[in-house]
Chains A and B, each alone.
Chain A
Amino acid sequence: MMTEHVEGQCHDSSVVTTYDVEAVNRKDDRSLYASRPAIYPKLAHGTFRRLKWILMAVTLGIYYLIPWIRWDRGPDLPNQAVLLDMQHERFFLFGLEIWPQEFYFVTGLLVLAALVLFLVTSVAGRVWCGYFCPQTVWTDLMISVERFWQGDRNARIRLDKAPWSLEKTYKKVATHVTWLLIGLATGGAFVFYFADAPTLLRDLVSGTAAVEAYVFLGLFTLTTYGLGGIAREQVCIYMCPWPRIQGAMVDHDTFLVGYREDRGEPRGSHRKDQSWDGRGDCVDCKACVAVCPVGIDIRDGAQLECIQCALCIDACDDIMQKVGRPTRLIAYDTIANQDAAKTGEIAKPKIFRARTLVYLALIGLVSALMLWALSQRSLLEANVIPDRNPYFVRLSNGDIRNGFALKILNKLHEPRTFKVDIENLPNATLRIAGQADGDQTVKVPTDVLSEVRIFVVVPKDDAMQLASHGHSFNFIVRDIESGRITRRLSTFRRPSQ
C-alpha cells in the first residue's frame, strides 16, 4: 500500500511530509529503449502554480476566443477580426489584409517571434516551454482533468494499482471522455480561424460543413488528446527540437530553475529538535520530484528534460516554510551565481550582456524593417510584361510596334480608374487593345487583378535611333482619383535593320 508517511525515521512528520517517491525518469536510469514510466504529478501550491493557472486561462482564452472577435470591414468583406481565408487567398488580421504575395509579412512576424524567443531564453531560460507552449498548457489542463476525476498523486497511484472495478472504470472513462471533449473544442476553435465562426459552428452542428472542416476537427481532436493527454512530457523529451536548440541561447548569466547545492547539501531528513549546523537545508522530502510533470529530480542539475515550469520551486518553498528555513532553496538563479555561492560570493545577474544586446538589436532591426515595409505597402501593384514572341512587329508604314501586358492589382475595396502613359520614348504612341485610340484609361474593378494589352508604336525613323539591344523606358500608371503615380520600367525592342 502506498503511503506518504515513511517509517519511523521521519521524525518531523507533524510538519514535513516526506514522500515515498523515486524519480522515475532519473538521469542515471535513462536508456534509449526506455518505455515510459507513469508520472503522477502532485498538485503544487504557490506563486508559480498561480501564475501558471493565470497564464493557462489567458493563453487558452486567446486561442478559443479570437475567432469570435468581430471586426467591421464594410460590406462584402468578412467581419471576423482574425480570418485565414484560404478560399479567397487573404489573411485578415484586424485592420490588416494580407495578400498571398505579401506573405513575407507573416514570415517577418515569425522571424520576430523567433528572435523574441531567443532573447527570453537567453535571459530566463525555457520560459516558453514552462508557461506558454501549447504542449505545456494543454498537458497541464489534461493533468488537472485527471486530478479532478481521479484525485491527486496518491489517489491516482492507488487507482492504477487497484484491480478494475466499476469505480475505476467510471473514473478512467470520465477522464478520457473529458480529454476528448477538450480535444474537440481545440479542433473546433482551430477550424474557426479559417471560416466565419458563427456560420461554421452552425454548419458543423447541423452536419453541413465542408469535409475539410470535419477532417481538421477530427485531426485536432485526436492530436490534442494524444499529445496532451497520453504522450505529455514525451513530446518535449523526444519529439521537440527546441530543448536541443535552446542550449545555444543559455549561458552562465541565464536565470534557470535550479537547486542551490551550496545551501541544500548535504541533504538528509531532519528532526524538529535537530540542529541545522553542519548539514544542508534539503530535508530530502522529494516534494520537488512529486510535483514534477516530467518526472525528473531537479537536484540532479540542469537537464534537457526540464521544461522549467518552476512547480518544484513552489513545492520546495512550502517545505522550507514548514521547517523554518529560508525559501528558494530551488529558485530561478544564474549558473554564475550558483558557482559564486560555493565560495560564499554573490554574482550579480547581468541581464544586459553581449548576447541579449545582440538579440535586442536584431529585434529592433527586424521590427524597423517590418514597419518600414508596412508603411511602403502599396495598395496598387502594377506589372508590365513585354511580349516575347514576337519581340516587335513592323507595321506597313515601317513603324515599329511592341506589345505589352499590363497587370494591375487593385487591393482597395472600390473600383479604380488609372491612366497609362509612357515616358522616355520619343514620339511613341500608346493604344490599349480593345479601346478607342486616345483612350488611355484602365478601369480595375475592386479587389482583382486586371490585365490589359498595350501596343506602343514608335515611328520608323525614331525607332531605328533606339539602342538595338532594347531601349529602356517607363510606363506611368496614375490613379486618376488620388493622383498617385506608379512607374514601371520596361524595354522597347526594334529590328536590327
Chain B
Amino acid sequence: MKKEIDQVTGTETTGHVWDDDLRELNKPLPRWWLYTLYATIIWAIGYWIAYPAWPLVNDYTKGVLGVSQRATVTQKIEDAKKAQSSSWALLESTPLDQVSGNPELLRFASASGKAAFGENCAPCHGRGAQGFTGYPNLNDDDWIWGGTIDDIQTTILYGIRTDHEDARSSEMPKFGADEILDRKQIGDVTEYVLSLSNLSTNAESSARGKELYAAQCVACHGENGKGNTELGAPNIADSIWLYGSKKEDIMQTVHTGRGGKMPAWESRLDPLTVKALAVYVHSLGGGK
C-alpha cells in the first residue's frame, strides 16, 4: 500500500479523504490509552480463568474461584432465614392471643404475614385485603365466622365449606329454587331485610316480610338480623353486604342461597405462616 504523506506536517495520513481535501493524519494512539487496552485484554483473560465465562455444550466453564450467583442467592436466603430463626421460634412459643403484647414480635409476625398474604390470599381478597363482591373485606369489623384472632386462624387453617373435618360450614337455603317461598314472598322478605338497615322503600311489603322472616330466617340470622358467628350466619342489619345491598342482590341471595368457599390452608402452609397470617389479618383494623 502506498503511503500518503501530508505535505504540511510530513506525517503519514490514513488515506481517507473527506470534502475533497480533508485528510486524517495517521497519528499513534495515546500510549496510556493503548496500555489500558492491553491491560483490559489481560484482565479479561484473568477473568475467564477466575469466573464462569464460556458456554460449553451441556455445561460452562466454572472458573477457579467457584463463583456462582445461584449459590450466592441460596446462601443469602439461608442466612436470612437463620437471622429470622429466633423470631420464628419466639412466634412459635408465644400463644396466638399474646403476640400483640410484644411489639417487636407483632411487627415481625405482621410483616411475615403480609408477605404470605400477598402470595396466597391477595388473588381473592385483594392486595389490601379490601375484598370483592363475594370475597370478604378483611379490614372491616364485620366477621361472618368470628373476628377474634383464634377465629381467624381457624378459618385460615381449615377454610369454610371445605372437605376438611374441622372446617366450618353452613348453608343458606335456596328459598326460591327449592320452592320454599314464592316470588312475591321473596320480595317481601327482602323488603324486611332492607328495613333492618333502613333501606326499605315499601313499608307494606316489609310488614308482610317480617312474618316470613320470623318463620324462616330467625333461626340463623336472629331476631334483629344480627346474625350468628357460630353458625356463619351474616349480620344482615349492618352496612356491610358481601353480595351487595341492592334489592336484586338480596333477592338473588334468598332465591338461590350463597355458599362461598374459603380453601383450607393447613395442608398448603406451615402452621407458623398461618399464625403470622392470622396476626396480620387481625391487625388490619377490624380484629376483635
Contacts and interface: CB of A to CB of B under 8 A. Distances in A.
A394 B239 contact: yes
Given A33-B28, A393-B137, A396-B239, A403 B142 contact: no
A388 B127 CA distance: 11
Contact of B235 (A35, A396, A453, A460): A396
Contact of B285 (A32, A33, A397, A401): A401
A33 B128 contact: no
Interface string B254-288: 00000000000000000000000000000101100
Contact of B141 (A32, A387, A396, A403): A396
Contacts of B286: 393, 395
Interface string A450-485: 000101000010000000000000000000000000
Nearest to B28: A33
Interface in A410-445: 433-434
B27 interface: yes
A390 B137 contact: yes
A165 interface: no
Contacts of A401: 139-140, 285
B169 to A, nearest CB: 23
A396 B285 contact: no
A385 to B, nearest CB: 14
A403 B106 CA distance: 18
A389 interface: yes
A160 B27 CA distance: 30
B238 interface: yes
A46 interface: no
Given A33-B28, A455-B285, A434 B103 contact: yes
Output the residue of A35, A393, A434, A460 with the most chain B CB within 10 A.
Answer: A393
A434 B100 contact: yes
Contacts of B142: 395-396
A394 B140 contact: yes
Nearest to B285: A455
Nearest to A400: B239
Contacts of A389: 126-128, 130
A434 B101 CA distance: 8
B96 interface: no
A434 B99 CA distance: 10
Nearest to B198: A398
A433 B285 contact: yes
A76 B208 CA distance: 76
Interface string B76-106: 0000000000000000000000001001001
B10 interface: no
Contact of B239 (A32, A33, A35, A397): A397
Interface string B28-53: 10110000000000000000000000
Interface centre among A32, A388, A394 (most CB of B within 10 A): A394
A395 B283 contact: no
A137 to B, nearest CB: 25
B212 interface: no
Interface in B199-235: 235
A387 to B, nearest CB: 7
Contacts of A387: 128
A434 to B, nearest CB: 6
Interface residues of B, number: 24
Kindly name the residue among B28, B30, B286 whose own CB sees the greatest number of chain A CB atoms within 10 A: B286
A394 B140 CA distance: 6
Given A33-B27, A434-B100, A434-B106, A403 B127 contact: no
A7 B103 CA distance: 92
A431 B130 CA distance: 20
Contacts of B283: 433-434, 453
Interface centre among B129, B142, B239 (most CB of A within 10 A): B239
A389 B235 CA distance: 25
Given A393-B285, A393-B286, A33 B30 contact: yes
B167 interface: no
- Among B139, B142, B238: residue with most chain A CB under 10 A: B139
B146 to A, nearest CB: 14
A195 B126 CA distance: 47
A393 B235 CA distance: 17
A433 B282 CA distance: 11
A395 B140 contact: yes
A429 to B, nearest CB: 13
Contacts of A393: 130, 137, 139-140, 285-286
Contacts of A396: 140-142, 235, 238-240
A444 to B, nearest CB: 12
A268 B33 CA distance: 43
Contacts of B140: 393-396, 401
Nearest to A433: B283
A403 B238 contact: no
Nearest to B240: A396
Contacts of B235: 396
Contacts of B127: 389
B128 A390 contact: yes
A334 B19 CA distance: 46
Interface in A302-329: none
Contacts of B129: 390
A390 B139 contact: yes
A460 B238 CA distance: 12
Interface string B121-139: 0000011111000000101
Contacts of B285: 393, 401, 403, 433, 453, 455
A181 B106 CA distance: 55
Nearest to A399: B239
Nearest to B131: A390
B239 A395 contact: yes
Nearest to B27: A33
Nearest to A451: B107
Contacts of A455: 285
Nearest to A401: B285
A465 B31 CA distance: 77
For the complex of A and B, 8 pairs with smallest distance between CB atoms: A389-B128, A390-B130, A396-B238, A398-B239, A393-B139, A396-B142, A390-B128, A393-B140
22 contacts: A33-B27, A33-B30, A35-B31, A388-B128, A389-B128, A390-B126, A390-B137, A393-B137, A393-B140, A393-B285, A395-B140, A395-B239, A395-B240, A395-B286, A396-B235, A396-B240, A397-B238, A397-B239, A398-B238, A401-B285, A434-B283, A453-B285
Interface of A: 32-33, 35, 387-390, 393-398, 401, 403, 433-434, 453, 455, 460
Interface of B: 27-28, 30-31, 100, 103, 106, 126-130, 137, 139-142, 235, 238-240, 283, 285-286
Given A35-B31, A396-B240, 6 more contacts: A33-B30, A390-B128, A395-B140, A396-B238, A397-B239, A453-B283
